[in-house]
Amino acid sequence: MELIVSITIIVILTVVLLANFHAGQSSNEANLAIQKLASDIRRVQGYSLSLKNYAGAKGENGWGVFFNMDTTTDPDNIRKFTVFYDIDKDSKRNMDGSEDVEEIFFSKGVVLSGLRIESAAVQGQRLSVLFVPPEPIIHICDSQCDGEIDATVMLTSGANTKKVDLNIFGLVDTEN
């Protein structure tokens, strides 16, 4: 009888530990993804500050990142973001993809779960952040590009949601 009670207690403890392990793993994936996203945004900001060349251009037009939550045209939109170079100097990404340099996919199980633009106080489907040298001037735009002030990008892994905040001063900040 005592053996059965001991085995039952061990089984219950094992189940609880495994459940907590998987929850912690999901949280770690979200933390890793949000740190990588912030790092990639800072890398693109660095491209602009260093006037990184693109396709023969001197890099003075600006570099940016673009997020798209619209899955009607591409179901993978919520699993990636785009790095672009502003070839035509219009302070936003061309929707035909002609300015796209690189698509960066989030790690497995991590998806784009929200875009929030502070001045509009609404959640949008698209977000473009452009860094224009030399200061750099930062353009944060939704689909209208009305000169928004701040933006938040949210990533979700399992039940864990993390966010990156961006502002017009160039701050890229993560919330853990």
Q: Per the structure, how many domains does the chain have?
A: 1
The string of pLDDT tens digits covering residues 84-139 is 999 988 888 888 989 999 999 998 888 888 888 776 544 568 888 999 888 778 88
Please state, rounded to an integer, the average pLDDT across all residues of the chain.
82
Structural domain containing residue 17:
2-175
State the pLDDT confidence band at 147, using cuts at 50, 70 and 90.
low
The string of pLDDT tens digits covering residues 15-39 is 776 666 555 555 788 888 889 999 9
CATH of residue 23:
3.55.40.10
> Token pair for residue 51?
């006037």
User: Among 61-65, 71-75, 103-107, whose mean pLDDT is lowest?
Assistant: 71-75
